[in-house]
Amino acid sequence: GWLIARLISAGITRLLKLVKFDTLSEKIKFTDFLSKANVQISPSGLIGKFAYWILMLLVIISASDAMGWAAVSNEVSKLIGYLPNLLIAIIFFVVGTFIASFVRDFIKGATNSLGISTGKLISTVVFYLLFIIVTLTALEQAGVDTSIITSNLLMIMGAILAAAAISYGIASRDLLANIMASFFCRRTFHVGQVIEVKGIKGKIISVNNVSVIIQNENENKIVIPAHRLLTNEVKIII
């Protein structure tokens, strides 16, 4: 039985290598996940080992039945019945972690392209929220009662999100004011106009999402926050 298990395990590993399963694992970053977990074995070898131990458990059941060890046979049978749930939980955890990493990288790239300085923080928070959800779901699939953990985590996450939302709202108050003001400024001010606001005079050379840039007579560029053009008297010269 042991020899047959070894041969089948080696055959499965070799077959997976022939169909380039390890290459596919690298593309979905499963290999990186194994490296971070200090698993010094290829994905195909890992599946081969898993198959080996499944077969060995079946051998143990057969040997126990032959020797009349019903208790051992029953317990090993229960273990084999549990293994599919464990395997599904592991696969779900790996795939879920990969998706969470993809979402993190996507948010980081999107926020960087928009010039949002807190993009890294936002992407990290989203990643860990997804990671916690994936972990709890995987544990439930594996048969672990996570009701207490889930209820406590929900309260903690709710408190953290509320505090973060309030802090972010206060910190970004001026930014939001400029963005809203810029929306209305675009209807009144445009590139080429010469304006004067609070003693500052110059020609508009740019109108962006948060400010208006003018160039004075000395060819110095001055950035005026958009909300100042709505809250102060602006003289349009040309």
Task: Tell me if 134 sits within 8 A of 96, measured CB to CB.
Answer: yes
- Residue range(s) defining the domain that contains residue 15: 1-68
| CA–CA separation, 137 and 68 (whole Å) | 39
Interval 179-225: pLDDT, tens = 777 777 777 888 888 888 888 889 989 888 788 889 888 888 988 88
SS (H, E, C) 71-119: HHHHHHHHHHHHHHHHHHHHHHHHHHHHHHHHHHHHHHHHHHHCCCCCH
Of 152, 171, 190, the one marking the end of a domain is: 171
**Same-domain check for residues 102 and 160:** yes
Of 28-32, 89-93, 160-164, 206-210, the range with the highest mean pLDDT is: 206-210
The pLDDT value given to residue 114: 66
Task: Tell me if 198 sits within 8 A of 235, measured CB to CB.
Answer: no
Q: How many domains does the chain fold into? A: 3
SS (H, E, C) 30-53: HHHHHHHCCCCCCHHHHHHHHHHH
Region of 160 on the Ramachandran plot (φ > 0 left; ψ -120 to 50 alpha; else beta): alpha
Lowest-confidence region among 16-20, 74-78, 83-87, 155-159: 74-78
Interval 96-153: pLDDT, tens = 877 888 888 888 887 777 666 677 888 888 888 888 888 888 888 777 777 777 777 7
Of 171, 202, 218, the one marking the end of a domain is: 171
- CATH code for the domain of 101: 1.10.287
Q: Is residue 193 part of a domain?
A: yes
**Over residues 162-189, mean pLDDT:** 71
Q: Is residue 217 part of a domain?
A: yes
Q: Which residue's structure tokens are 């390890």?
A: 22
Go through 205-216 and write b for each residue having 16 or more CB atoms within 10 A of its CB, e for each that does not.
eebeebbbbbee
**Same-domain check for residues 133 and 96:** yes
Task: Tell me if 203 sits within 8 A of 192, measured CB to CB.
Answer: yes
Q: Is residue 78 part of a domain?
A: no
Q: Which residue's structure tokens are 């994905």?
A: 43
Amino acid identity of 158?
Answer: G
Of 43, 68, 93, the one marking the end of a domain is: 68
| CA–CA separation, 95 and 134 (whole Å) | 9
Token readout for 224 is: 């005026």
Q: Is residue 76 part of a domain?
A: no
> Residue 33's pLDDT band (boundaries 50, 70, 90)?
low
- CATH code for the domain of 204: 2.30.30.60
Q: Is residue 207 part of a domain?
A: yes
Q: What is the DSSP letter of 210?
A: S
What is the H or E stretch that residue 234 is in? strand 234-236
> Residue 50's pLDDT band (boundaries 50, 70, 90)?
confident
Determine what percent of the chain is predicted with pLDDT higher than 70.
82
**Same-domain check for residues 88 and 167:** yes
**Same-domain check for residues 216 and 186:** yes
| CA–CA separation, 218 and 9 (whole Å) | 79
**Over residues 61-87, mean pLDDT:** 71
**Same-domain check for residues 95 and 151:** yes
